[in-house]
Structure 1
Amino acid sequence: MLKHGRAGVPMEVMGLMLGEFVDEFTIHVFDVFAMPQSGTGVSVEAVDDVFQTKMMDMLRQTGRDQMVVGWYHSHPGFGCWLSSVDVNTQQSFEQLNKRAVAVVIDPIQSVKGKVVIDAFRTIDTTTLMMGQEPRQSTSNVGHLNKPSIQALIHGLNRHYYSLNIDYHKTSYETNMLLNLHKKNWQSGLKLIDYDHKECENLQNTQQMVKIAKLYHQRVQEEKELTEDQLKTRYVGKQDPKKHLSIPSSSFLHAMTNPLSKRRKLDSNTTESSINRKLLDFDFEKICSITLNSNNIYCCLKCGKFFNGRSISSPAYNHSIVNPGHSIYLNLSSHKVYELPEDKQWDNANSIQDIIEYLDPKYTKRDIELLPRISFDLNDKKYLVGYIGLNNIKHNDYANVVIHLLAHIQPIRDFYLLFDNNDSMASPLNNKLSLLIKKVWSPHLFKSHVAPYEFLNCVSEISKKKFTIDGKSISPKMFLTWLLNSLHSQLIKKERAKSSELSDALQGRIKISTIPIVSQEIDSRIEYTTIENKAKEVISKFWMNSYLHVDLQDLLQKYNGVKQTQVGSKEVKTYTLLDPLPPYLIISYEKSDDKRSCVVKFNPDSLDMGRYLYPVKDDIKYRLVSTIKKDDSNWAISLRMNNDSWVSIKDLEVKSQSQELLFLDDNYIQVWQMI
């Protein structure tokens, strides 16, 4: 009956019940068969006598000699009761057999594991008019069923009365009821409308054709223009020769990556008590009433956090005061409960996307597919990993450092696979891991992330040296503190001499210190070095600092020959020692007047072999990210897999030309060994 009723939604359907009359108080129903009628109201005229007779004859031929004991019909979404038409239909069945019953089933309100069903029989009004009471009997049910208001309005206990139903479920029927919320297997045969994908493919193809024509024009210009003209021909413009691969590679990536698809929520599993657009797990997970941080639940209707679920707890009181706010997710165990009933929700599989948004998990295979294209709840496309970070107050200095670390591949992979449930892990590493997982998550409900929870942890550990209101804090100060803090906590936990951070970023440098003495000769001060008192120290470094000019000239400071005077009493020489780290962080010192100064560099090639001791050939690096000053705010430029560049400033994400990188007021750069 339930499957027949669900198949007919939104129309009402009807059928007949087969069984036997056991005694004066019991009817045993063995089977049902559907009648070929449906409509907004099923009446007695809808009963097809010819169909019913043929059906009964065929059943007898197969050895099924059960008789018709009643009929059933569906009320999709409006409860179990008999309308005036239904009462007339039931009276016609009772004329054939006084003990016939009418069963009403609601396929909409019947959810996973629960069936909304009721049985009725009419009351003989002539007996009441003659002053005779109908036959009474005691009940062995053990409880009273409270009827619905709709049933009372439509004549329950006046024109008809309700009968107790006791149904015994087989293992197959139990399995069927537990899977009611799932799609029918036939839905897999339906064709999905991909018109939007056709439009996207057409636009991408047209863009590739446009750039291909410009590329052909560029090749022709190389034959006609002089070398000096070619240098300035595409300054500030898109060079088609260098950007032809960008749209084509993005197009092919979206077509071949099986996980680059729009988010689609199943209408059968999108509950009325869940509002995904109000859910936000980026902020501190504390109770909005008591400010307690233990045993926190999220109301999936309004997105607020509450403590506990016992009677009188904030979550329990919220469910009582606000009808419809009944589904609560435990933010630690990810279990889902219904309140105020305090029972575990059976339909938890339908909110798997919410759990993935709350706590993203990664495998090595997931990491291999990065970066990829995904879509948020508003169907807005975003490139995973290249998203904006909220500038809550003045935390742009931290946003660029977070992006810088999140795009150093070995560090990114380490934190994506980091176990956030490890009780031995430090809070700082734990919060940074969760933030990097969200930055690289394809399950975001909005295409940006707020680093509030991580920055709260940073503020507490640094004793408020680095806060959300860090207007005067430089990224270099924060990066240095963060690397040292993360590294020290990792080696303390693992009891090791190195960490994933030091393996990727830390190098060694030899510093030779030579004392000097000054003497005045003919009104001039001359400095003399004392070579026999020279001292050498080998230390580790996270980053190298330079004053502004050409980068290759700046690096001469580390060739082991050039002397740098430090104060009035000593000079130093610096020598980089082999091996260099896989990633090199270079910072440019700002002068006191804070005027912008251009540093020339080739983002595709930086030769570091000549500055090593001993000297080596073919040790080259390429630029992968650069932190810059942009209109008094900090921003970062990132290299993508297809060698195109993107600039991220808080929530603003836009493409950038590689040729113009050196014109930015660059501050910190990360170079990758190639």
Structure 2
Amino acid sequence: MKLPRQILCPDGKTEVEHTPDSSRARSSWVVRSFTNRLAEPLRRLLAGDSLSEAQVKAEEKKKDNKDSRAVSALKLEKRASEFGEMVVMKTLKSEELDRIMLDEQGSIKRQKVEGAVHVVDDDQQGSSLQRRRRQLQPRGDCPYLDTVNRQVLDFDFEKKCSVSLEKLDVYACLVCGKYYQGRRKNTHAYTHSLEADHHVYINLQNEKVYCLPDGYEILDPSLDDIRHILNPRFTVEQVAQLDKNRQWSRALDGSDYLPGMVGLNKLQGTDFMNVTIQSLMRVTPFRNFFLIPENYQHCQSSLVQCFGELTRKIWHARNFKGQVSPHEFLQAVTEVSKKRFCIGQQSDPLEFLQWLLKALHAELKNSKNNSVIYDCFQGEFEVMKETDGKTGDDDVLMEKSRMPFLVLGLDLPPQPLFKDVMDKSIIPQVSLFDILKKFDGDTATEVVRPQRAWMKYRITKLPKYLILHMQRFKENNFFIEKNPTIVNFPLKNLELKDYIPLPRKIEKSPSKYDLIANLVHDGRPKEGSYRVFVHRKSEELWYEMQNLHVSETLPQMVALSEAYLQIYEQHH
């Protein structure tokens, strides 16, 4: 049903059009306009009033202005109707002349020539009392959808305008992939649409797609894949099937990749961060927590939000590329750590891992000081400290305390000071069970600083995921020395209670562990590189990962590596 339209007539009144054909309405006010023009002089003539020639011309000019104004309004209405909009021309209360203009999008703007300034319509801002807003209707038939270029889209970088470097109200051009701010007139995105003839943009916050400079929203299901790349989503059912999925995915460039096994771009000395992230991705409850944004939507920390986004991109099965860049996450790390970890500066994975776990816990902890980090990695051991008394050598002071831990540090046996000529090519080896005796409660470890003491450790609570650190690097007054000792460790069924006496209350709890990640250091101290061996549960296979390099490897190669950090999963 077509709605009736109001037509502005020359006499200043409005007439409602009830028929589809507008010719009747036009003819009615045209006839009345000429009648009114003749009625006034005739009335004065019959009344005996004499009109001067100047007065007659003034009356005719006034009538002509009204006629031209009405004709302009009709032309304006006809042009606006081409945009599919119903234009209602209301009678203006003021007798002053108004100038009516039509902009490029078909929205009507009115502006006073004299007197008070009239309100100009704005699609973006202004209250309803002070501004008239004209909402453009969303469309699904945008003619510029074929210009979208998915090959150039990359949402891994920090979301800020490439011109103003602002982070608010940022849009991505789906034609060239660059970021610009705003979509109103005179904004960077609006200007780019006119200069480069690029018309399709997506809001990086609410994921709405717009056509610029027209300004209408595009509703088309063919753009859903771009939204999934911008902000990957997982359901609870999909998360539960991740460790069972064996299907490979194919990127737009034709490369195949395994979800969860994608390479990470190296950003100049950030391999320590890449291997740490890949190791944490094997911790199932930790990973599952960050795959569901609702679990941490209350947290406003950029570190938590960026780490969650990076986790979802690593495990996403419909990526446009076979690799992911941790650039945005690294920017958040640099800001939160106050440049302790940054691009171009090689760091220790152990230091980064400990800092990251503590920083995430600080943002996610609840009222009971608990979080998913403590649920996964926190254990507890008992420390017995023996120190010499001040009165004599026989006087020994005993101190006993309990301390939580996230990482267990294991001491490697020192290298011999003098090597035999025949033993130069022999690399020393040690069993993991031998260095775990440090935590049996009987083995004493001598500590010199801050005072000489003997420390005994005994594990009182086992974590669900056990992180072991082989202390390979020792720093003296001159240089940092690396211990190349090979640690022999099992890949499966590491039974701790056979080598570490456990308290009775945890004897019945699971004490058997399986290796899921083995982080390795290659080369000299401060000059080497890091790589990691990770276990894929769905295939029961091992993969070697170093930045963008991802390849399948043999379990024997994992056992022969110089382990630096290991993550074991509790076996149920």
TM-score interval (norm. to shorter)? 0.5 to 0.7
- 1:7-406 correspondence runs (5 A): 142-143=78-79, 271-323=145-197, 325-347=198-220, 349-370=221-242, 371=245, 372-406=247-281
Aligned: 1:504 with 2:368? no
Aligned counterpart in structure 2 of residue 551 of structure 1, from 432, 447, 454? 432
Q: Could you say what secondary structure the match of 2:233 adopts?
A: coil
Q: Could you say what secondary structure the match of 1:655 adopts?
A: strand
Contact kept in structure 1, 2:383 and 2:455, CA below 8 Å = yes
- Matched residue type, 2:213: P
**Rounded Cα–Cα distance in structure 1 between residues aligned with 2:501 and 2:228:** 46
**Rounded Cα–Cα distance in structure 2 between residues aligned with 1:302 and 1:420:** 34
Aligned counterpart in structure 2 of residue 583 of structure 1, from 465, 472, 480? 465
Contact kept in structure 1, 2:409 and 2:469, CA below 8 Å = yes
1:385-440: per-residue Cα shift (whole Å, max 9, x none)?
00100101111111111111121001000000133883533221111111111111
Task: Give the share of equivalent positions with the same residue, in percent.
Answer: 30
Contact kept in structure 2, 1:517 and 1:569, CA below 8 Å = no
* 2:452 alignment counterpart: 569
1:550-589: per-residue Cα shift (whole Å, max 9, x none)?
10001100000111111162101000003x1110000100
**Rounded Cα–Cα distance in structure 2 between residues aligned with 1:606 and 1:393:** 37
* 1:516 alignment counterpart: 388
Contact kept in structure 2, 1:587 and 1:667, CA below 8 Å = yes
**Rounded Cα–Cα distance in structure 1 between residues aligned with 2:484 and 2:232:** 40
* 1:636 alignment counterpart: 532
**Rounded Cα–Cα distance in structure 1 between residues aligned with 2:374 and 2:295:** 21
Contact kept in structure 2, 1:515 and 1:529, CA below 8 Å = no
Contact kept in structure 1, 2:386 and 2:453, CA below 8 Å = yes
- TM-score with structure 1 length normalisation? 0.57
* 1:431 alignment counterpart: 306
Aligned: 1:671 with 2:572? no
1:270, distance to aligned residue in structure 2 (A): 9.7
* 1:624 alignment counterpart: 516
Moved more, 337-346 or 420-429: 420-429
**Rounded Cα–Cα distance in structure 1 between residues aligned with 2:144 and 2:484:** 53
**Rounded Cα–Cα distance in structure 2 between residues aligned with 1:332 and 1:421:** 17
1:477, distance to aligned residue in structure 2 (A): 0.6
* 1:69 alignment counterpart: none
Q: Could you say what secondary structure the match of 1:476 adopts?
A: helix
- Matched residue type, 1:556: K
**Rounded Cα–Cα distance in structure 2 between residues aligned with 1:489 and 1:593:** 36
Aligned: 1:538 with 2:402? yes
- Matched residue type, 2:455: K
**Rounded Cα–Cα distance in structure 2 between residues aligned with 1:424 and 1:653:** 33
Q: Could you say what secondary structure the match of 1:659 adopts?
A: helix
* 1:453 alignment counterpart: 328
**Rounded Cα–Cα distance in structure 2 between residues aligned with 1:456 and 1:179:** 37
**Rounded Cα–Cα distance in structure 2 between residues aligned with 1:516 and 1:570:** 7
Aligned: 1:597 with 2:485? yes
- Decide whether aligned partners of structure 1 residues 275 and 420 sit closer, same or farther in structure 2, where only a CA change above 3 A counts: farther
1:470, distance to aligned residue in structure 2 (A): 2.2
- Matched residue type, 1:397: F
Contact kept in structure 1, 2:299 and 2:363, CA below 8 Å = no
* 1:225 alignment counterpart: none
**Rounded Cα–Cα distance in structure 1 between residues aligned with 2:455 and 2:296:** 47
1:643, distance to aligned residue in structure 2 (A): 1.8
**Rounded Cα–Cα distance in structure 1 between residues aligned with 2:281 and 2:394:** 46
**Rounded Cα–Cα distance in structure 2 between residues aligned with 1:413 and 1:501:** 12
- 1:482-493 correspondence runs (5 A): 482-491=356-365
- Matched residue type, 1:649: Q
Considering only aligned residues, what root-mean-square deviation do their CA atoms show, in Å?
A: 2.9
Contact kept in structure 2, 1:297 and 1:329, CA below 8 Å = yes
- Decide whether aligned partners of structure 1 residues 557 and 314 sit closer, same or farther in structure 2, where only a CA change above 3 A counts: same
- Decide whether aligned partners of structure 1 residues 663 and 310 sit closer, same or farther in structure 2, where only a CA change above 3 A counts: same
Contact kept in structure 2, 1:270 and 1:350, CA below 8 Å = no
- TM-score with structure 2 length normalisation? 0.67
Contact kept in structure 2, 1:546 and 1:588, CA below 8 Å = yes
**Rounded Cα–Cα distance in structure 1 between residues aligned with 2:379 and 2:184:** 55
- Matched residue type, 1:321: E
1:528, distance to aligned residue in structure 2 (A): 5.4
* 1:103 alignment counterpart: none
**Rounded Cα–Cα distance in structure 2 between residues aligned with 1:139 and 1:586:** 80
**Rounded Cα–Cα distance in structure 1 between residues aligned with 2:189 and 2:394:** 75
Q: Could you say what secondary structure the match of 1:538 adopts?
A: strand
**Rounded Cα–Cα distance in structure 2 between residues aligned with 1:293 and 1:619:** 48
1:138-172: per-residue Cα shift (whole Å, max 9, x none)?
999834999xxxxxxxxxxxxxxxxxxxxxxxxxx
Alignment gaps of 5+ in structure 2: 1-19, 25-73, 83-138, 413-429, 474-479
Contact kept in structure 1, 2:296 and 2:364, CA below 8 Å = no
Q: Could you say what secondary structure the match of 2:482 adopts?
A: coil
- Matched residue type, 1:619: S
Q: Could you say what secondary structure the match of 1:419 adopts?
A: helix
1:311, distance to aligned residue in structure 2 (A): 0.5
* 1:613 alignment counterpart: 502
**Rounded Cα–Cα distance in structure 1 between residues aligned with 2:75 and 2:540:** 79
Q: Could you say what secondary structure the match of 1:142 adopts?
A: helix
**Rounded Cα–Cα distance in structure 1 between residues aligned with 2:77 and 2:407:** 79
Which of 1 and 2 has higher RCO (CA within 8 Å, sep 6+)? 2
1:516, distance to aligned residue in structure 2 (A): 3.0
**Rounded Cα–Cα distance in structure 1 between residues aligned with 2:559 and 2:184:** 60
**Rounded Cα–Cα distance in structure 2 between residues aligned with 1:612 and 1:476:** 27
* 1:106 alignment counterpart: none
Q: Could you say what secondary structure the match of 1:415 adopts?
A: helix
- Decide whether aligned partners of structure 1 residues 143 and 497 sit closer, same or farther in structure 2, where only a CA change above 3 A counts: closer
- Decide whether aligned partners of structure 1 residues 282 and 420 sit closer, same or farther in structure 2, where only a CA change above 3 A counts: farther
Q: Could you say what secondary structure the match of 1:593 adopts?
A: strand
**Rounded Cα–Cα distance in structure 2 between residues aligned with 1:291 and 1:433:** 23
**Rounded Cα–Cα distance in structure 2 between residues aligned with 1:535 and 1:145:** 88
- Decide whether aligned partners of structure 1 residues 320 and 672 sit closer, same or farther in structure 2, where only a CA change above 3 A counts: same
Contact kept in structure 1, 2:144 and 2:200, CA below 8 Å = no
**Rounded Cα–Cα distance in structure 2 between residues aligned with 1:405 and 1:336:** 34
**Rounded Cα–Cα distance in structure 1 between residues aligned with 2:295 and 2:407:** 29
Contact kept in structure 2, 1:514 and 1:529, CA below 8 Å = no
**Rounded Cα–Cα distance in structure 2 between residues aligned with 1:439 and 1:407:** 12
**Rounded Cα–Cα distance in structure 2 between residues aligned with 1:287 and 1:518:** 66
- Matched residue type, 2:503: P
